[in-house]
């Protein structure tokens, strides 16, 4: 049984993330999406609401589970006997940070491998932060996020 962990802030989950998790779910017996609190980033959406949005967006994928998580990804992987961490790579921008993090994770836990999956062509320049910004300013983000996220961010923008 091969289990993989897919960690991220998912603030919010975008169709780029959904594309990665859908492809990953076809490669592994099970995938655990870890919605990370991420103290290094100021969150737009509170963790418990991010968790609901992620769960709702991937509920059609029967071998994917979702949980909130705070701590080292390698510890989560070890706890679930997962040998793989999945990360998505967009054109150029993600490489340096992701490369450094994978080296650190390798050092912390040599038995866990990071596997990078290329972002889908249509999602190469899609980021959660830009999605939040455009939605906040009243721009159209249809086709970039799942419908539940679209509804959530529209409501958030209206409340401002």
Nearer to ligand ADP, 2 or 16 (CB): 16
Query: 9, 25, 57, 128: which one is catalytic?
Result: 128
Please indicate whether residue 62 is annotated as part of the active site: no
Peptide bond into 68 cis (omega under 30): no
Q: Where are the alpha helices (DSSP H) in 14-159?
A: 15-25, 47-57, 73-79, 95-108, 128-136, 147-159
- Those residues whose C-beta lies under 8 Å from the C-beta of residue 41, and which sit 6 or more positions away, are 9, 11
Cα separation of 31 and 66, whole Å?
A: 9
23 part of the active site: no
Q: Which is nearer to ligand ADP, 97 or 136 (CB)?
A: 97
* Token code pair at residue 22: 């859908």
Q: Which is nearer to ligand ADP, 16 or 146 (CB)?
A: 16
Closest approach, Cβ 154 to ligand ADP, in A, equals: 20
| Comparison of 1 and 8: residue with beta carbon closer to ligand ADP | 8
- Which of 17, 50, 57, 87 does the annotation list as catalytic? 17
- Would you tell me which residues interact with ligand ADP (CB under 6 A)? 8-10, 14, 16-17, 20, 38, 87-88, 90, 94, 119, 123, 126-128
DSSP state of 89: E
Instruction: Give catalytic status of residue 41 as yes or no.
Output: yes
Whether 17 is catalytic is yes
Check 80, 83, 90, 106 and give the catalytic one.
Answer: 90
Contacts of 141 (CB under 8 A, 6+ apart): 131, 134, 135, 150, 153
**Could you give the residue numbers annotated as active site?**
17, 41, 90, 128
């Amino acid at each position: 049984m091969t289990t993989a962990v897919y960690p991220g802030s998912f603030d919010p989950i975008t169709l780029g993330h959904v594309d990665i998790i859908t492809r990953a779910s076809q490669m592994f017996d099970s995938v655990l999406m870890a919605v990370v609190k991420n103290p290094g980033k100021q969150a737009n959406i509170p963790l418990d609401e991010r968790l609901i949005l992620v769960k709702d967006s991937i509920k059609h994928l029967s071998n994917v589970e979702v949980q909130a998580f705070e701590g080292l990804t390698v510890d989560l992987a070890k706890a679930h006997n997962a040998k793989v961490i999945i990360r998505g790579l967009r054109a150029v921008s993600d490489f340096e940070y992701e490369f450094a993090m994978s080296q650190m994770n390798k050092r912390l836990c040599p038995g866990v491998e990071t596997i990078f999956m290329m972002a889908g062509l249509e999602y190469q320049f899609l980021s959660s932060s830009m999605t939040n910004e455009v939605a906040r300013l009243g721009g159209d983000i249809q086709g970039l996020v799942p419908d539940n996220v679209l509804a959530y961010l529209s409501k958030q923008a209206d409340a401002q």
